Amino acid sequence: MDIFLQQLINGLTAGSVYAVVALGYTMVYGIIQLINFAHGEVVMIGAMVAFSVIMALAGAQPGLPPVVIVLAGVAAAVPVCMAVGYLLERLAYRPLRHAPRLAPLITAIGMSIVLQHLALLIWSRDPIAFPQIIPLQVFEIGGAAITGVQIAIMLVSVVMMAGLSAMIYRTRLGAAMRATAENPHVASLMGVDIDRVIAVTFLIGAALAAVAGVMVGTYYGIAHYTMGATLGLKAFSAAVLGGIGNMAGAMLGGLLLGVVEALGAGYVGELTDLCHASFLSDALVERCARDGHLILFGSNYQDVFAFLVLILVLVFRPSGLLGERVADRA
């Protein structure tokens, strides 16, 4: 039981990060039906900028409390990422808003390559180790270990999601965003400045990405100029799983994906041990006696479990868990 709980905690922490990144994908998609494939790189830039600031502060002012240093990192990362997000929209997406649907996909790939290699130039090829400034605090819950950083990540994610929901459903800007998502043409007739709304959407997504970048950096203690691709792919899957374009779906999808990965890696291996069925043949009995196990799908298939769940969900609910509208602009 304590192992199950531990896996749940593992999954929820990773899932919180996925969810925050997935929000960036889903917001942009909701408004202009575009997959911002370069979003993962924005997360990477966030982690890198925060690293530089944290490194400098931890070196210059060793007396500062770690929380202050990390917050300073966030404070630096957010505006930089917002600038990157804005530039992305301005240079790569806005000129192509009426182009065939796949054209922005290529510009996004181009921008990913550019951002990655700019980061390589600035922060080197090495994997960067975040300074270990946060003392390790481990709390016990029902036999499972949870660290202070994990608690902070989950809390921050929940706060950011709540804040975002409030913004979208309670403010004029939020109303304008929803109107644009519903029908940009009509929204513009009602006096909504479409360009501005879209730019703001990118800015908010980039700010979320910046925070996610800092989370990843401090939790795993490492950053690398190629880290955005993997994370972006996971978060994008999460957004689709929940129903792309749907905010609550992105959160649900992120958390679910994190938990599925953790439980998949934790349990499927033992469930697919052929030795449970070794009565099938003598050869199996012999190998089981020699090796003790004959696992078909171990933790090496962790990503397969995640994709399988995604595919199964989509086969039965073709627009994701919470998605309603079907994107039909092929």
Positions 2 through 41 that interact with another protein (CB under 8 A): 3, 6-7, 10-11, 13-14, 29, 33, 35
Positions 131 through 160 that interact with another protein (CB under 8 A): 132, 136, 138, 145, 147
Positions 239 through 268 that interact with another protein (CB under 8 A): 240, 244, 261-267
3-state secondary structure of 230: helix
Residue 175 Cβ, how far from another protein at the closest point, in Å? Answer: 26
Positions 179 through 198 that interact with another protein (CB under 8 A): none
Would you count residue 62 as binding another protein (CB under 8 A)? no
Residue number with CB closer to another protein (156 or 207): 156
Strands (DSSP E) found in 83-126: none
- DSSP annotation of 168 reads H
**CB burial string 181-201: b at 16+ within 10 A, e below:** beebeebeeeebebeebbbbb
Which stretch in 43-51, 54-62, 156-164, 295-303 sits in contact with another protein by CB under 8 A? 295-303
Residue 192: left (phi > 0), alpha (psi -120 to 50), or beta? beta
Contact 58, 133 (CB under 8 A): yes
Which stretch in 56-64, 155-163, 206-214, 219-227 sits in contact with another protein by CB under 8 A? 219-227
∠ Cα 245 262 272 (to 5°): 115
Kindly tell me which residue out of 61, 171, 183, 230 binds another protein, with binding defined by CB under 8 A. Answer: 230
Residue number with CB closer to another protein (79 or 110): 110
Would you count residue 55 as binding another protein (CB under 8 A)? no
Residue type (1 letter), 49: V
- DSSP annotation of 245 reads T
Q: How far is CA 118 from the centre of its chain?
A: 22
Positions 99 through 118 that interact with another protein (CB under 8 A): 99-107, 109-114, 116-118
